[in-house]
């Protein structure tokens, strides 16, 4: 039998612990939107790492949190359903703070999955702590999942990732690769582009506006000169948010467009013409029709 290993690894955790940063670091290129704000990830996405002896398929999930609207319910369901049928669960926690109520809830949720699926507890952001503080934090988190294998990393600094990959491979079954070696994600370029536009909004905008903003991709065309033409609409929940997003003389929209275009061009390796517009879709996060159009449909 082949010694090659292959398997699916679900990355679970509360919002803003660095799940997408970790996937990007492991793959060595950006496939997932990242920002300092919670709930940057709204849909699960595969990150496919192919090595000579193994293929690890990471399932990047939305952060588990206490939902306040139908969108939040969808995000939590996306994350929980990702735990079914995987070969390993990687619970990523923020070692720079003690466990929160969200962490305790996740630990309780994981109990029903880890009877049959191995659990790796990974402390992220360890570069932010002194050795004694890290040891204390390690004990706090290990008490929530004392049967888990524990590792310490810094995704943003790429520390401890080699050791983590070696440990992941140990848990995976002997199996041939599921995906071609040159494939790194299951999303199309246009889907990643929409996420990168929203990432630019998250980085540029303040207060609660980013959380109530969605990106609808209206057009994605290849032009004869090799350039990509992208047209997208920024959906907001209230009229009062429009002026903030557009900015004085359209300044904010230009900044968002410029930042997004740069990221999309780096991803696709070609020039991009990006056209953005703004539309108010009142309370879209609780509107089933709007959620369906955006692909945030709660499964029955």
Among 137, 118, 140, 120, residue whose Cα is nearest residue 129 = 137
Cβ-in-10-Å burial (0-12, 13-18, 19+) of 102 comes to middle
Burial class of residue 130, CB neighbours in 10 A (0-12, 13-18, 19+): exposed
Q: 69 is written with which tokens?
A: 């609207």
User: What one-character DSSP code corresponds to residue 10?
Assistant: E
pLDDT of the residue at 37: 62
Sheet holding 272-280, edge to edge: 214-222, 228-236, 272-280
Mean pLDDT for back-to-back runs of 10 residues, the chain (300 residues): 88 90 91 67 84 95 76 80 91 95 92 90 94 92 93 95 96 95 89 91 79 91 89 94 93 96 91 96 90 74
Distance between first and last Cα of the chain? 40
Distance of CA 149 to the CA centre of its chain: 23
Per-residue buried b or exposed e for 68-100, using 16+ beta carbons within 10 Å of the residue's own CB: ebbbbbbbbebbbebbeebbbbbbbbbbbeebe
Residue of 51, 31, 54 whose CA lies nearest to 43: 31
Q: What is the pTM of this model?
A: 0.82
pLDDT of res. 220: 93
CATH for the 189-293 domain, from 3.20.20.60, 3.40.50.720, 3.30.300.20, 1.20.1290.10 = 3.30.300.20
What CATH fold (topology level) applies to the domain 5-171? Rossmann fold (3.40.50)
Q: Are strands 88-94 and 5-12 parallel, antiparallel or unpaired?
A: parallel
Q: Which residues contact 112 (CB under 8 A, 6 or more apart)?
A: none
Question: Please, which residues bridge with residue 18 across strands?
Answer: none
What is the residue extent of each domain of the chain? 5-171, 189-293
pLDDT at 30: 83
Token output for 135: 């040891």
Q: How far lies 197's CA from each of 17, 18, 74, 174, in Å? A: 21, 19, 21, 39
Question: Would the CA dihedral through 203, 209, 211, 215 be positive or negative?
Answer: negative
């Amino acid at each position: 039998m082949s010694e090659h290993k292959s398997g699916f690894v679900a990355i679970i955790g509360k919002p803003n612990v660095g799940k997408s940063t970790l996937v990007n670091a492991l793959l060595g290129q950006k496939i997932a939107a990242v920002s300092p704000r919670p709930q940057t990830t709204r849909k699960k996405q595969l990150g496919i790492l192919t090595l000579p002896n193994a293929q690890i398929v990471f399932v990047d999930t939305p952060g588990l949190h206490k939902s306040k609207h139908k969108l939040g319910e969808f995000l939590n369901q996306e994350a929980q359903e990702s735990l079914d049928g995987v070969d390993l669960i990687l619970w990523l926690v923020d070692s720079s703070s003690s466990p929160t109520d969200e962490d305790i809830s996740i630990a309780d949720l994981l109990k029903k999955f880890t009877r049959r699926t191995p659990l790796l507890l990974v402390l992220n952001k360890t570069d932010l702590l002194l050795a004694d503080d890290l040891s204390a934090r390690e004990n706090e988190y290990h008490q929530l999942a004392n049967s888990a294998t524990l590792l310490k990393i810094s995704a943003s600094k790429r520390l401890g990732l080699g050791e983590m990959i070696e440990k992941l491979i140990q848990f995976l079954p002997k199996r041939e690769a599921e995906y071609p070696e040159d494939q790194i994600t299951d999303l199309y370029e246009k889907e990643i582009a929409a996420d990168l536009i929203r990432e630019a909004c998250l980085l540029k905008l303040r207060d609660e506006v980013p959380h109530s903003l969605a990106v609808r991709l209206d057009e994605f065309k290849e032009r004869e000169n090799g350039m990509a033409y992208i047209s997208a609409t920024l959906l907001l929940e209230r009229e009062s948010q429009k002026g903030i997003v557009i900015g004085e003389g359209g300044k904010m929209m230009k900044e968002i467009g410029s930042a997004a275009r740069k990221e999309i061009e780096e991803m696709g390796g070609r020039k991009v013409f990006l056209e953005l517009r703004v539309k108010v879709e009142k309370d879209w996060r609780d509107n089933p029709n709007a959620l369906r159009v955006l692909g945030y449909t709660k499964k029955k």
